[in-house]
Structure 1
């Protein structure tokens, strides 16, 4: 669904409410090849024009199928999140009126594309750690001959590096013992 900023600006101060089911499967899979499947996204919310610009506030509910980050088994991840963004014309040059916490999107050609906004926010919400229910429940991490995975392996390596003594300076460690 696409609207022009002029069209949405004519609604005045009354919120323009909407509820849509958007199929973003093909475009999201093209943008992120790790996603194997995605359900149609249920989007509901409103747009309102205020002194800062067009405020879009909507919620998105979708299920994304991803590989497990540990075993590469298929995992269906439900995503439910809220989006609150300001949309302004590309002719707007002064963005200083917005707070540092405001998300401001500058629209090319002054056309707002709901599908694209939903796609962008879905991609931002994809977790970096995806595990199957068995992997979450199990305390056993993968291991093999002479190797194992541990959750804090980076911390252990940093501690080993910190405790290691440079062989060129090894004799100095006993300097103050004399």
Structure 2
């Protein structure tokens, strides 16, 4: 999403409302399995050598469930404020919240992607309906069994005979 700096300076409060494709962040090292376009609304204003952009980013991303690894749709809405400097002599510091602008166009795409990445939750969980519908319940050599479904393990017949002999011996000793 690119905005001309001259447009921002000309308007007191330059509004914008666009869809931005940020699907390339799926390939980065994060948990996002799918994300399409996000909707970005907001406005920008200029005061002296600084441009302040107020953004609202909305969209949905597909993340893995922390328990089952099935896809979970996670809707998000991010409110962000980004400050830029048009001063050609401004040098960005490491922890600075003011970003320098090179040229006559303000490119908001990297800042939109950064704010979406910061919105990824630590864990998401699928609903029970999603788990019942999509989760695997068995595979090669394994299956999920609830505690109610488990049976008491049956004893090996040879061990059962030995146990019977021991029980008889205890009964004789107790008499």
Structure 2 gaps, min length 5: 130-175
State how far apart, in whole Å, the 1-side matches of 2:103 and 2:48 are. Answer: 21
**Does 2:65 correspond to 1:68?**
yes
Counterpart residue number, 1:53 = 50
Change (3 A) 1:134 1:86: same
Change (3 A) 1:70 1:85: same
Q: Secondary structure at the match of 1:118?
A: helix
**RMSD across aligned positions (CA):** 2.8
Q: Retained in 2: the 8 A contact 1:84–1:103? A: no
Deviation at 1:45, TM superposition (A): 0.5
Deviation at 1:121, TM superposition (A): 1.0
**Does 2:5 correspond to 1:2?**
no
Deviation at 1:108, TM superposition (A): 4.0
Larger proportion of helix: 1
Change (3 A) 1:118 1:95: closer
Give TM-score scaled by structure 2 length: 0.62
Structure 1 gaps, min length 5: 136-178
Counterpart residue number, 1:23 = 21
Change (3 A) 1:81 1:33: closer
Greater gyration radius: 2
**Does 2:97 correspond to 1:103?**
yes
Q: 4+ residue stretches of structure 1 with deviation over 6 A?
A: none
Deviation at 1:85, TM superposition (A): 1.1
